[in-house]
A and B are shown apart, each in its own frame.
Chain A
């Protein structure tokens, strides 16, 4: 189990997302057994292939974030919780996870933003997302600059809203770091 997780993290962090998308969309179709299996109706759709590639990719990064935040929980606060009779799920739910989430949220926020921008790559497997549509519009109108500026603005708006949501949540969770108002 441990080796499987490590292999997953190394493989998906160590190769370009573009290659992963290609391999999942074009590569899986080469396996005859898969083409005849019940999974094929799903896996031949570019939409599901893009989802799978993005999910596998982000899960590798998120796993590392979770590992890091677990290590950032101060051991003495956990010990104090044990000394108060906490163990198992109560200890995790009440002490470890709330502290870990506070540590991990800023890093996870930037991972989410990276993921939103990575969806642009899905256009190469014929998916009509923002960048895909931009390409089509350019092909029919030849207005390169205007269309790319607008599609850039769409990504900017999306990531701005996400960033705002994350920082609002962070502020709410981290009231204990804020200076106290008199």
Chain B
């Protein structure tokens, strides 16, 4: 692993420094909806190759944090580094705004998001969904993109569904196609926003096993998971949010064994009690 020189870590992030290259980092990240504080001064950093699960009760701000990481949600204050590059933001009327849309567009293809509701484009086939961003955003060669898309579809087990439209697929297939769409862009970071919460229970497994395989490859993944067992088994680190602040973080072993954080123990006990 490469040692990270001091200068590529923003100074404010020194508290959570890791010896690896920083993939994504926030400092002093805040998000307000009017008078409601959703995220309060989040300093967070994920190293390349790390799998981080963001846990928290509903309303704790975990999806908002994930949304802020690729600026689908605009933070109210704070700084954001993606792949050691500071995202240019300016403050206006109590919120941050994008100053350099081209930079954000480029970084979004590198920090690719998988949504709760799949959000495939309904008027395109699975293959067209996959090829859209590589062709029209990244402007890659069509033949190369096609090969790549077919290879990725094969990986997620959807080779025989390339010419299907999203409405013709099951939820699990749609989510696997959405993961494939994120992968074709060759992202350095994958963001998963509750990828299995909209699925029927019997379809959850197929999506989780794809995600498990991706984690095993050493990909950088930030996950807001729906299954505690998955967070415990697959992630390197857990970030526990409580009312918009980081209430606890550490390895799953540290946190799940209990005693590390009272709030986290309370949160987990609600799951184990069923």
Q: Which residues of A contact B (CB under 8 A)?
A: 74, 76-77, 79-88, 90, 94-95, 98-99, 102, 173, 175-177, 180
Contact = CB atoms under 8 A, between A and B. Distances in A.
Given A175-B165, A176-B167, A85 B108 contact: yes
Contacts of B133: 84-86
B70 interface: yes
Interface stretch (B77-85, B111-119, B209-217): B111-119
B122 A99 contact: yes
Contact of B123 (A76, A102, A180): A102
Contacts of A94: 132, 136
Contacts of B165: 175-176, 180
A86 B109 CA distance: 9
B147 interface: no
A80 B168 contact: no
Interface string B163-187: 0111110000000001001000100
Interface in B80-138: 101, 104-106, 108-109, 112-113, 115, 117, 119-125, 132-133, 136-138
B119 A90 contact: no
A95 B119 contact: no
A86 B133 CA distance: 8
Contacts of A102: 123
A82 B72 contact: yes
Contacts, number: 73
Contact of B137 (A86, A99, A175): A86
Contact of A176 (B105, B166, B185): B166
Interface of B: 70, 72, 101, 104-106, 108-109, 112-113, 115, 117, 119-125, 132-133, 136-138, 164-168, 178, 181, 185
Contacts of B123: 98-99, 102, 173, 176
Contacts of B117: 76
A82 B132 contact: no
A87 B105 contact: yes
23 contacts: A74-B122, A76-B117, A76-B119, A77-B122, A80-B113, A80-B121, A80-B178, A82-B108, A83-B112, A84-B108, A84-B109, A84-B181, A85-B137, A86-B105, A87-B101, A88-B101, A90-B136, A99-B123, A102-B123, A173-B123, A176-B125, A176-B165, A176-B167
Given A99-B122, A176-B165, A86 B72 contact: no
Given A80-B119, A85-B133, A86-B133, 9 more contacts: A76-B117, A80-B120, A81-B121, A83-B112, A84-B109, A84-B132, A85-B108, A95-B121, A98-B123
A90 B137 contact: yes
Contacts of B137: 84-86, 90
Nearest to A173: B123
Given A84-B133, A84-B181, A180-B168, A79 B119 contact: yes
A86 B105 CA distance: 6
B115 to A, nearest CB: 6
Residue from the set A81, A84, A180 with the largest chain B CB neighbour count within 10 Å: A84
A180 B119 contact: no
B121 A83 contact: no
Nearest to B167: A176
B116 to A, nearest CB: 9
Nearest to B109: A85
A27 to B, nearest CB: 45
A177 B122 CA distance: 9
Contact of A83 (B70, B122, B125): B70
A181 to B, nearest CB: 11
Given A176-B165, A176-B166, A85 B105 contact: yes
Contacts of B119: 76-77, 79-80
Contacts of A84: 108-109, 112, 132-133, 137, 181, 185
Contacts of A90: 136-137
A103 to B, nearest CB: 10
A169 to B, nearest CB: 14
A80 B122 CA distance: 11
5 residue pairs, one from A and one from B, having the closest CB atoms: A80-B119, A176-B165, A84-B133, A85-B109, A83-B113
A74 B104 CA distance: 22
